[in-house]
Chains A and B, each alone.
Chain A
Amino acid sequence: TQLLEQSPQFLSIQEGENLTVYCNSSSVFSSLQWYRQEPGEGPVLLVTVVTGGEVKKLKRLTFQFGDARKDSSLHITAAQPGDTGLYLCAGVKSGYALNFGKGTSLLVTP
């Protein structure tokens, strides 16, 4: 059973467009993390959201944690080719294991 469902799985947009990636679960998480992975590299942490309803901004990226701490979203404003990559959400339900979603593969074309 997949704990975290991400949507969409693939997204291809043009430079300058806005987009939102969703990470949903039926389980409550104490926190959720978002990572970005580029080809040939390991995932790199973008942000950790901890409090229900929390909103964090990282330049053009806005992350939100749902009030019930079961879901999160990533919104990118005015996407650029450098935003291209695999976006992964991850959370811990119990114990120490970090459970990852299946990822959203984003392609931004000039």
Chain B
Amino acid sequence: DTAVSQTPKYLVTQMGNDKSIKCEQNLGHDTMYWYKQDSKKFLKIMFSYNNKELIINETVPNRFSPKSPDKAHLNLHINSLELGDSAVYFCASSQMPGSNQPQHFGDGTRLSIL
């Protein structure tokens, strides 16, 4: 059973398009995250939700909009895709927010902008 699952695994699309990535966790965790990993493998936090409420919103273009319909899901919608958006996007979850909490990651969505 996959703990944190993301779909799709690969996403290839044209510049200017709008796309969504879905994430679901079956761990019963309260907190979910979106990270972006660039071509140099640097992993950077984008957003975090705790109990469906936004608690972290890093400096991310407003073309990126997260949505959490319930505690088990955190989706990421991206408008007007740009070349610089090409990266691997990871969803993660933890039992609660905090520095000691282990985060469980999905396997990533590889987004390529043509």
Using C-beta atoms within 8 Å of the partner chain, give the interface range for chain A: 20 to 34
Q: Using a CB–CB distance below 8 Å, which chain B residues touch chain A?
A: 4, 31, 33, 40-45, 48, 50, 55-56, 58, 90, 92, 97-100, 102-108
Main secondary structure of the interface of A (DSSP, over half): loop
Give chain A nearest CB distance to B22 CB in angstroms.
Answer: 15
**Contact A48:B105 (CB < 8 A) given known A100-B43, A103-B42:** no
Instruction: Please list the 9 inter-chain residue pairs (A to B) with the smallest Cβ-Cβ separation, ordered nearest first.
Output: A42-B105, A92-B99, A96-B97, A100-B43, A45-B102, A97-B45, A30-B99, A31-B99, A103-B41
Q: Quick one: closest B residue to A2, CB to CB?
A: B42
The answer to whether B108 touches A100, judged by C-beta atoms less than 8 angstroms apart, is: no
**Contact A97:B105 (CB < 8 A) given known A42-B90, A102-B40:** no
Residues in chain A near residue B106, CB distance under 8 A: 42
**Contact A96:B55 (CB < 8 A) given known A91-B99, A102-B40:** yes
Residues in chain A near residue B103, CB distance under 8 A: 33, 43, 45, 98
